[in-house]
């Protein structure tokens, strides 16, 4: 379980998060929604320990990562899989090496690594591209390879940063289905950050709305559509126009 | 001013992290060997060309100057050897490596930073300081004195060729001039300097890359800053380092 308590983060006097409180339960998929620049990615990077908050606590399975030593933090980070908005594939490595990178910490045999790379590539619907470099892949393929890399070592938590941004509707559907399947098959806890309401409604059990550095509302997908909260209402109506 | 002190603090903290990570297993052997090849073997031709040319110029200038002063080309070997072993060998090799290797290290690590590849490493349970920085700093620090020794030999050879071709000085006399006044301390003077230059340049290059901000423009800025800062630190540090080594009786 992840517990975020009174989290504050600012950059050069520009306050991004101001008192975020959120509990993420084991096995659920929760989506954090909000407009651009509201601090969704900053929150996600704080959860995984890539950014250090100014104030507040983030407790992951009983360990407060905001005060943890580097060694402990690295161990906690192994519990996370992170799908970056930009995919963040290692451009000097092949697809195989990218996916195998996270597995190098687990003392697996060569055969086991090869098996897992192929398995997770087939899981994201990409076979036979092991020897290609990221520069040779399309945006959607990169996202899927990055997803395979993020889940190849069976993390307990998978964090998705704008998983469908910049993708065509078909690939968006593929990624959404992958998030659902992952949660069903592997029972991972997923945190999705997006401003795509359609994806959020499809994949999540709960949707948290982030505005002005705070979580202003946490609702189920059904409640979102009926909500009278001005921000949620505005979000739904503008998303419906886009749909 | 405040920014400079913050930067300095961040740089020394970065060096501390490199030292701590160097002693923690696992050691990235494959990357280390690849970096030795990339930094050492690939830089060898440029280092050899520059030191050979500098050795020839030194031989020519020393010969001509001694003719003006003493009416004969004297002590060419001695001047060329002392200049190269104690000063020009370490500094020239370091400057060549700043241009050829350090700038590339900053650009490579900086690009990885702005494209979130370094963040991705953390989330995949790998410490980027251990994986990216430690092998580069170690390889750089080991390779630079070796390149300096080879450059010195080639430079002295260049000086010898000129003193023979231009001033008709036989090779036996040139070699005797080279070795007669040279002590082991002089050799170590240059070697210690080159190791310290190696640590300085590689940590500046890695630090600049690791803390790059601001996309492609930021990578360009970091690379320029790495080259400027390395060369300035190299030349200023050279004076103080030479003074310290002389005070300690090394060379």
- B99-110 confidence digits (pLDDT tens): 999 999 999 999
| pLDDT confidence of residue B240 | 95
Give just the sign of the alpha carbon dihedral A123, A128, A134, A139: negative
Neighbour-count burial for A106-133, b at 16+ CB within 10 Å, e otherwise: eeeeeeebeebbbebbebbebeebbeeb
Q: Which residues of A touch B116 (CB under 8 A)?
A: 84-86, 88
Instruction: Name the residue among B112, B117, B125 with its Cβ closest to that of A102.
Output: B125
Spatial separation of the C-alpha atoms in residues A55 and B64, rounded to whole Å: 70
Q: Is A91 on the interface with B (CB under 8 A)?
A: yes
Q: Tell me if A96 sits within 8 A of A156, measured CB to CB.
A: no
**CB contacts, 8 Å: A86 with chain B:** 115-116
pLDDT at residue A242, rounded to an integer = 54
> Between chains, do A50 and B126 touch, taking CB under 8 Å as contact?
no
User: Distance (Å) from the C-alpha of residue B49 to the closest C-alpha of chain A?
Assistant: 30
Q: How far apart are CA A36 and CA A161, in angstroms?
A: 12
Cα separation, A107 vs A111, in Å, equals: 12
pLDDT class for A36, splitting at 50, 70, 90? confident
Give the model's pLDDT for residue A240.
Answer: 67
pTM (2 decimals)? 0.87
Give me the total of CB pairs closer than 8 Å, taking one residue from chain A and one from chain B.
54
| Phi, psi dihedral angles at A216 (to 5 degrees) | -95, -20
The region, left, alpha or beta by phi > 0 then psi within -120 to 50, assigned to residue A187 is: left
Which positions of chain B have pLDDT values less than 70?
none
pLDDT, tens digit, for every residue of A57-100? 999 999 999 999 888 888 899 899 999 999 999 999 999 999 99
Check A74 against B127: CB less than 8 A apart: yes
* CA pair distance A59, B240, nearest whole angstrom: 49
Whether residues B123 and A90 touch (CB distance < 8 A) is answered with no
Give the pairing type, strands A80-83 and A214-219.
Answer: unpaired
Q: Which of B37, B39, B80, B86 is nearest to B61 (CA)?
A: B80
> Quick one: pLDDT at residue A124?
85
| Predicted local confidence at residue B101, as pLDDT | 95
**B28 in A contact zone (CB under 8 Å):** no
> Cα-flanking dihedrals φ and ψ of residue A10, to 5°?
-135, 160
User: Which whole-number Å values give the CA distances from B61 to A178, B66, B77, in the listed order?
Assistant: 73, 8, 12
pLDDT, one tens digit per residue, over B178-235 is 998 888 899 999 999 999 999 999 999 999 999 999 889 999 999 999 999 999 999 9
Confidence of residue A125 (pLDDT cuts 50, 70, 90): confident
**Spatial CB neighbours of B161, under 8 Å, sequence gap ≥ 6:** B56, B59
Q: Side-chain half-sphere of A32: how many Cα atoms within 13 Å?
A: 29
Kindly determine whether residue A48 and residue B123, on different chains, have CB atoms separated by under 8 Å.
yes
Residue B109's H or E segment, with its range, is helix B103-114
What pLDDT is stored for residue A229 in this prediction?
A: 84
- pLDDT over threshold 70, residue A241: no
- Element (DSSP H or E) covering residue A156: none
Chain B residues with CB under 8 Å of A70 CB are 127
Rg (C-alpha) for chain B, rounded Å, is 21
Structure tokens, B217? 């423009």
- Domains parsed from chain A with CATH numbers: 1-79+187-243 (3.40.50.300)
Q: Which helix (H) or strand (E) holds A22?
A: strand A14-24
Instruction: Please indicate if any CB of chain B lies within 8 Å of the CB of A134.
Output: no
Residues B196 and B250: their CA atoms lie apart, in Å, by: 15
User: Predicted confidence band at A140 (pLDDT cuts at 50, 70, 90)?
Assistant: confident
Return the residue matching tokens 């970091």. B222
The candidate with the shortest Cα–Cα distance to B210, out of B34, B3, B5, B7, is B7
Cis omega (within 30 of 0) for bond into B26: yes
- CB contact (8 A) between residue B125 and residue A45: no
Q: Does A90 touch chain B (CB under 8 A)?
A: yes
Who contacts A168 (Cβ-Cβ below 8 Å, separation ≥6)?
A: A140
**B25 vs A: CB within 8 A:** no
- Please give the ipTM for the structure prediction: 0.87
């Amino acid at each position: 379980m992840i517990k975020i308590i009174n989290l504050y983060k600012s950059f050069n006097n520009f306050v991004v998060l101001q008192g975020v409180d959120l509990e993420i339960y084991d096995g659920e998929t929760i989506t954090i929604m909000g407009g651009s620049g509201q601090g969704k990615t900053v929150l996600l990077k704080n959860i995984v320990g890539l950014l250090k908050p100014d104030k507040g606590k983030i407790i992951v399975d009983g360990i407060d990562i905001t005060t943890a030593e580097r060694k402990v933090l690295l161990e906690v980070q192994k519990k996370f899989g992170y799908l970056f908005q930009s995919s963040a594939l290692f451009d000097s490595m092949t697809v195989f090496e990218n996916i195998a990178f996270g597995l190098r910490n687990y003392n697996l045999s060569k055969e086991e690594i090869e098996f897992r790379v192929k398995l997770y590539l087939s899981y994201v619907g990409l076979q036979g591209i092991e020897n290609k470099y990221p520069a040779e892949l399309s945006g959607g393929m990169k996202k899927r390879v990055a997803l395979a890399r993020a889940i190849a070592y069976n993390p307990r938590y998978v964090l998705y940063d704008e998983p469908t941004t910049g993708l065509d509707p078909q690939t968006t559907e593929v990624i959404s289905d992958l998030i659902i399947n992952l949660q069903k098959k592997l029972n991972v806890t997923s945190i999705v950050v997006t401003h795509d309401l359609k994806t959020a409604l499809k994949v999540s059990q709960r949707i948290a709305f982030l505005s002005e550095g705070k979580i202003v509302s946490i609702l189920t997908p059904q409640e979102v559509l009926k909500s009278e909260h001005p921000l949620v209402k505005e979000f739904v109506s503008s998303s419906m126009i886009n749909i | 001013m405040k920014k400079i002190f913050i930067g300095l603090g961040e740089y020394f903290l970065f060096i501390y992290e490199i030292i701590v990570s160097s002693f923690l297993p696992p050691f990235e052997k494959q990357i280390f060997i690849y970096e030795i090849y990339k930094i050492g073997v690939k830089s060898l031709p440029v280092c050899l060309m520059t030191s050979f040319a500098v050795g020839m110029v030194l031989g020519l200038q020393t010969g001509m100057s001694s003719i003006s002063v003493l009416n004969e080309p004297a002590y060419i070997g001695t001047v060329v050897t002392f200049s190269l072993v104690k000063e020009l060998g370490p500094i020239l090799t370091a400057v060549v490596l700043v241009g050829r290797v350090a700038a590339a290290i900053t650009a490579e690590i900086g690009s990885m930073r702005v494209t979130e590849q370094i963040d991705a490493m953390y989330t995949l349970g790998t410490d980027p300081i251990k994986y990216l920085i430690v092998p580069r700093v170690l390889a750089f620090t080991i390779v630079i004195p070796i390149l300096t020794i080879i450059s010195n030999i080639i430079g002295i050879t260049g000086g010898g060729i000129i003193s023979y071709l231009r001033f008709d000085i036989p090779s036996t006399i040139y070699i005797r001039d080279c070795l007669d006044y040279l002590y082991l301390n002089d050799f170590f003077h240059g070697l210690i300097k080159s190791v310290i230059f190696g640590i300085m340049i590689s940590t500046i290059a890695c630090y600049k890359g690791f803390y790059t901000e601001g996309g492609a423009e930021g990578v360009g800025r970091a690379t320029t800053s790495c080259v400027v800062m390395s060369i300035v630190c190299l030349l200023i540090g050279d004076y103080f380092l030479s003074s310290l080594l002389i005070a300690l009786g090394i060379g």
